[in-house]
Amino acid sequence: MRNSSSGWVRLAGAALVAGFLIGLPSPVLAQGLAALGKEVWLTRSNCRDCHGSLGNGYQDDPQAPQGYNLRETILSPDEMRDVIRCGRPGGLMPSFQRTAWTDRAPCWGMVADDVGDMIPDKAETALADRLLNALVEMIFAEFVGKPDITQEMCTDFLGQAAARCVGFPAAGN
Ligand code: HEC
């Protein structure tokens, strides 16, 4: 009995380690990534200035351009990654990848000359791919497809004391 249950524990442990090594999309890994992504969203980037802390397009900084409502996006995770790396040519979404528009690899095979005046601004802080992937994981886990924000969703995400949560309806209303 004892042997077989510790065997299972060892097997589960090995599966977890294998997951880390080969990047299996296990729920544990996804949660860790989303937590890192939340940190990037809240403290290591300025997305919130334009998209708002809750990603709903109400800017945290009223002087900043209004970003899209990420809760209502129809982009796939890969498409979203590209937009964050490269920004939107001709739009006000900045590019967050260090080599965007100088290397051809990140932005649809294009460099600055290909887009001329339409080249997006460069964000002040570039994001390495690891952080960018975590950010996209978090955006899909917390925002995408969840347009109606309740006070509970808001305080879960921003903490009980968050002043900006006051205006949202309580769950079920
Ligand atoms: C200076 C303001 C600004 C900042 C900072 C900013 N965005 Fe944006 N973002 C925009 C605007 C404006 C658009 C709409 C662009 C367009 O298509 O014209 C946009 C579009 C997007 C889109 C495309 C959504 C869709 O459905 O098409 C995504 C995804 C996105 N932003 C994510 C982010 C993330 C993540 C960050 C931080 C790493 C960020 N943005 C930082 C202004 C901003």
Residues 132-150 pLDDT 10s:
999 999 999 999 999 999 9
Supply the pTM of this predicted model.
0.86
Domain assignment of residue 1, yes or no: no
The reported pLDDT for the residue numbered 35 is: 96
CA–CA separation, 97 and 109 (whole Å): 14
- Measured from the Cβ of residue 150, the count of other Cβ atoms closer than 10 Å reads 16
pLDDT in tens, 2-42: 555 566 666 666 655 665 656 666 788 888 999 999 999 99
Residues touching ligand 1 (Cβ under 6 Å) are 45-47, 49-51, 64-65, 67-68, 70, 73, 75, 80, 83-84, 88, 91-94, 96, 135
Domain assignment of residue 98, yes or no: yes
What total number of domains does the chain contain?
A: 1
Provide the phi-psi class of 65: left if phi over 0, else alpha when psi is between -120 and 50, else beta. beta
- Helix (H) / strand (E) element for 59: namely none
Domain assignment of residue 115, yes or no: yes
Write out the residue range of the structural domain in which residue 103 sits.
Answer: 76-126
Domain assignment of residue 48, yes or no: no
Alpha carbon nearest to ligand 1 atom 27, residue: 73
- Measured from the Cβ of residue 12, the count of other Cβ atoms closer than 10 Å reads 10
- Measured from the Cβ of residue 132, the count of other Cβ atoms closer than 10 Å reads 20
User: Could you identify the atom of ligand 1 that is nearest to the CA of residue 92?
Assistant: 12
Residues 133, 33 contacting (CB under 8 angstroms): yes
Query: Mean of the pLDDT values across residues 48-59?
Result: 97
CA–CA separation, 150 and 171 (whole Å): 5
Domain assignment of residue 132, yes or no: no
Question: What is the Å distance from ligand 1's center to 11 Cα?
Answer: 43
User: Could you identify the atom of ligand 1 that is nearest to the CA of residue 96?
Assistant: 38
